[in-house]
């Protein structure tokens, strides 16, 4: 049987291919699919670790900002009541100072 190219000018040669090459090609495709799945899973795990690390860093930064805010509030309130003359004022000063110390604010008072 003679095959002719689409332009009709030259005949095509039929080259017989052994059957085992088809099996080799199928194994190659299967290995490529397995490799792509392994690579995808590895990349997904790495991305999830990076996202988790970024989330934890953001959480630590937010906690530090919250702590600075609370320390500023506690310190200012303690300053307001620092020269109190009444027992209630002194108790309020002590309460704000306790909160300041409990939050481990700097500088220590």
> What are the extents of the domains in the chain?
3-102
* 42-86 pLDDT, tens digit each: 999 999 999 999 999 999 999 999 999 999 999 999 888 888 899
Q: Say whether 4 sits in a helix, a strand or coil.
A: strand
CB-based burial label for 77 (10 Å; 0-12, 13-18, 19+) = middle
Strands (E), 1-109: 3-4, 11-12
Q: Determine the Cα–Cα distance for residues 64 and 70; give it in Å rounded to an integer.
A: 10
For the entire predicted model, the pTM comes to 0.58
Q: Are strands 11-12 and 3-4 parallel, antiparallel or unpaired?
A: antiparallel
Number of Cβ within a 10 Å radius of residue 47 = 10
């Amino acid at each position: 049987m003679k095959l002719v190219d689409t332009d009709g000018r030259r005949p095509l040669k039929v080259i017989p291919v052994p059957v085992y090459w088809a099996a080799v090609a199928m194994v190659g495709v299967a290995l490529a699919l397995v490799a792509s799945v392994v690579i995808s899973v590895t990349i997904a795990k790495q991305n999830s670790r990076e996202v988790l690390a970024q989330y934890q860093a953001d959480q630590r930064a937010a906690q530090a900002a919250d702590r600075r805010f609370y320390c500023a509030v506690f310190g200012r309130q303690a300053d307001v009541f620092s020269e109190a003359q009444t027992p209630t004022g002194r108790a309020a000063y002590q309460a704000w100072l306790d909160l300041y110390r409990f939050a481990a604010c700097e500088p220590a008072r």
